[in-house]
Amino acid sequence: NAGVTQTPKFQVLKTGQSMTLQCAQDMNHNSMYWYRQDPGMGLRLIYYSASEGTTDKGEVPNGYNVSRLNKREFSLRLESAAPSQTSVYFCASDRGETQYFGPGTRLLVL
Amino acid sequence: TQLLEQSPQFLSIQEGENLTVYCNSSSVFSSLQWYRQEPGEGPVLLVTVVTGGEVKKLKRLTFQFGDARKDSSLHITAAQPGDTGLYLCAGGSNQGGKLIFGQGTELSVKP
């Protein structure tokens, strides 16, 4: 039982490049989330998916898109990366009010 | 917009000291959670409090939810180096499982 997994662990991009961050959970949870974490700002919600086939914007959705591919997988796409998107990205899924987080993806945009 | 203000942002203490971290808001939350995060890893849930005035203890950690469900505190007794990490509070809303996170408190406990 791996919990929540994320790939890649690290990525360096140039401004304007695109990439997709992958997330998968094996706990049969309905809801999944994408957060970004920046120093002194806690975790900010980018997008979430309450169930397979639905997605909604969070607090900071600009510059991102998501896909809930199936119940297990929830991907985050940066179409044209900007230096302001340098951050650590966490995926999470939940059962009730407990969220389970992946190990994170560290992204540097030059 | 619901906001959670967490203080202090940084805390460096010696082993054996006590400390308290605060989480405050002007909004009412349905629940309040505390997470601990170690470097290079994702946050891990420590506790959830749901009732105003509720107090929960987890070994040397004591968590309290304010009577009005707008604030919470985390108290650590006799801190140990293993307590070092980032502590995050998170408020639950009535919008499904969405959480509002505080800015975090970086705790360093020196031997």
Range A46-51 contact pairs with CB under 8 angstroms and sequence separation of 24 or more: A46/A76, A46/A89, A47/A76, A48/B97, A48/B98, A49/A74, A50/B96, A50/B97
Would you call A44 an interface residue with chain B, using a CB distance cutoff of 8 Å? yes
What residue in B sits closest to A44 (Cα-Cα)?
A: B101
pLDDT tens for A88-103 read 999 999 977 788 999 9
In angstroms, the CA A43 to CA B12 distance is: 22
In angstroms, the CA A18 to CA A14 distance is: 9
pLDDT tens for A14-58 read 999 999 999 999 999 999 999 999 988 889 999 999 999 899 999
CA A24 distance to own-chain centroid: 10
Each residue's pLDDT expressed in tens, for chain B with a length of 111 residues:
678 999 999 999 999 999 999 999 999 998 899 999 998 899 999 999 999 999 999 999 999 999 999 999 999 999 999 999 999 999 987 666 788 999 999 999 999
Give the DSSP letter of residue A79: S
Percent residues over pLDDT 90 in chain B: 82
* Structure token digits, residue A83: 């230096």
**Per the CB < 8 Å rule, is A97 touching B101?**
no
List CB contacts of A15: < 8 A, sequence separation 6 or more: A81, A82, A83, A109, A110
Beta bridge partners of B104: none
Would you call B57 an interface residue with chain A, using a CB distance cutoff of 8 Å? no
